């Protein structure tokens, strides 16, 4: 059973940075896809960034490209989201998610099987 635990959220000022962490456990060997998604009040959950565990290929939502960076540690037990130049529109609950091999993209949160509880990011001016 895969477990995901996010940390690192909090209140920040616009223009500042945050680094989110997702600690994973319960994964067996093999290829999988890890992603960060977010959901703001009254809005649908949207993909932010994903990474393929085998190829380290990454995909980003257009709204965060150039500002956010997804990465994984060498043991592939942790996934990170480095967020720079934060803006108020980045305010949301951020979730870590995981799925098996196959398609790995930000546009299909429904295909991710495992989810963390989320960590809140609040950006103010």
pLDDT digits (tens, 9 = 90+) for 110-120: 999 999 999 99
For the cut 70, the answer to whether the pLDDT of residue 90 exceeds it is yes
For residue 1, what are its two tokens?
């059973």
Q: Residue 107 has what pLDDT?
A: 93
**pLDDT tens digit sequence for 13-72:** 999 999 999 999 887 667 889 999 999 999 999 999 999 988 899 999 999 999 999 999
| pLDDT class of 75 with cuts at 50, 70, 90 | confident
- Residue 71 forms beta bridges with which residues? 80
As to burial, measured by CB atoms within 10 angstroms (0-12 exposed, 13-18 middle, 19+ buried), residue 37 is buried
Q: Residue 11 has what pLDDT?
A: 98
């Amino acid at each position: 059973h895969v477990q995901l635990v996010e940390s690192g959220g909090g209140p920040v000022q616009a223009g500042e940075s945050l680094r989110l962490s997702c600690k994973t456990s319960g994964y067996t060997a093999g290829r999988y896809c890890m992603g960060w998604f977010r959901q703001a009040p009254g809005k649908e959950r949207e993909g932010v960034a994903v990474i393929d565990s085998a190829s380290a290929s990454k995909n980003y939502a257009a709204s965060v490209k150039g500002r956010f960076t997804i990465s994984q540690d060498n043991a592939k037990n942790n996934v990170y989201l480095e967020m720079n130049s934060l803006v108020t529109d980045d305010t949301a609950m951020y979730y870590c998610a995981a799925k098996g091999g196959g398609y790995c993209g930000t546009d299909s949160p429904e295909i991710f099987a495992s989810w963390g509880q989320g960590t809140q990011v609040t950006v103010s001016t």
